[in-house]
Structure 1
Amino acid sequence: SAKNYGRAVYECLRGGLDFTKDDENVTSQPFMRWRDRFLCVAEAIYKSQSETGEVKGHYLNTTAGTCEEMLKRAQCAKELGVPIVMHDYLTGGFTANTSLAPYCRDNGLLLHIHRAMHAVIDRQRNHGIHFRVLAKALRMSGGDHLHSGT
């Protein structure tokens, strides 16, 4: 549930982490709708900040089926005062990213880019696009920073 998710975020932030993030698969499932998750996470951020005196944050996943829905989620994050949103730019698409990036820039939001699905594209020897090219394309399309990992 969103309440349990918010509690987990709070425990991580209160326990010493500076930032947490939504998993790339956490968008809006029947058991945890995006708006409920955003509200519970914002509460966790503010509670942990007030208790620790430290700046805390969470990357809210705004990836959605349409650009309009994604922008609605980013607007909600802004209204809640959460300064970082996340977008899966390969599954969401470059056009979605170029729609979200100007909104984030104009509204003081940091745009974290997740690279879910990259292995299908960049790990094949006989086809695909090298990840350095994908990373450059995401920066050119407005992403502020890129999720790195395996």
Structure 2
Amino acid sequence: TGEIKGHYLNATAGTCEEMIKRAVFARELGVPIVMHDYLTGGFTANTSLAHYCRDNGLLLHIHRAMHAVIDRQKNHGIHFRVLAKALRMSGGDHIHSGTVVGKLEGERDITLGFVDLLR
């Protein structure tokens, strides 16, 4: 069909060194976007990976694995807007914000608020 497909290579790993190795591999493959699970990987690791990506012409896509454990708890949670802003401050270029329908369903106004916040 001529349709172009894309892939975000997930560089999330147990150490920053391994994440950088995975990002180097992605670059060698010609992958333009590297993905990181920033909540499970950590903010410092995210910043290290973001610096590598910037220095090497790659975009850093942020996956939000584990976010619901934090931001959907009514009695101790941190709103996703706070997590999204922290992600931007730590170097994320692009985030999986969820949708208003489907598996990652969220309230329309809240989901669109994340998108507006990060523009």
TM over 0.5: yes
Counterparts of 2:97 and 2:78, CA distance in 1: 17
Q: Check the 8 A contact 1:114/1:146 in 2, yes or no.
A: yes
SS at match of 1:71: helix
Counterparts of 2:54 and 2:5, CA distance in 1: 20
Give the count of matched residue pairs: 99
What is the aligned-residue identity percentage? Answer: 91
Over aligned residue pairs, what C-alpha RMSD do you find? 1.3
SS at match of 2:45: helix
List runs of 5+ in structure 1 lacking aligned partners: 1-51
Counterparts of 2:59 and 2:34, CA distance in 1: 6
Q: Check the 8 A contact 1:57/1:83 in 2, yes or no.
A: no
List runs of 5+ in structure 2 lacking aligned partners: 100-119
SS at match of 1:78: helix
Residue 55 of structure 1 and its aligned partner are, at CA, apart by: 4.8
Residue 78 of structure 1 and its aligned partner are, at CA, apart by: 0.4
Residue 57 of structure 1 and its aligned partner are, at CA, apart by: 2.0
1:65-84 aligned at under 5 Å gives the runs 65-84=14-33
Counterparts of 1:63 and 1:136, CA distance in 2: 20
Bigger Rg, structure 1 or 2: 1
Residue 132 of structure 1 and its aligned partner are, at CA, apart by: 0.1
Structure 1 residues 27-72: Cα deviation after superposition (integer angstroms, max 9, x where no partner): xxxxxxxxxxxxxxxxxxxxxxxxx656542101000000000000
Counterparts of 1:148 and 1:131, CA distance in 2: 9
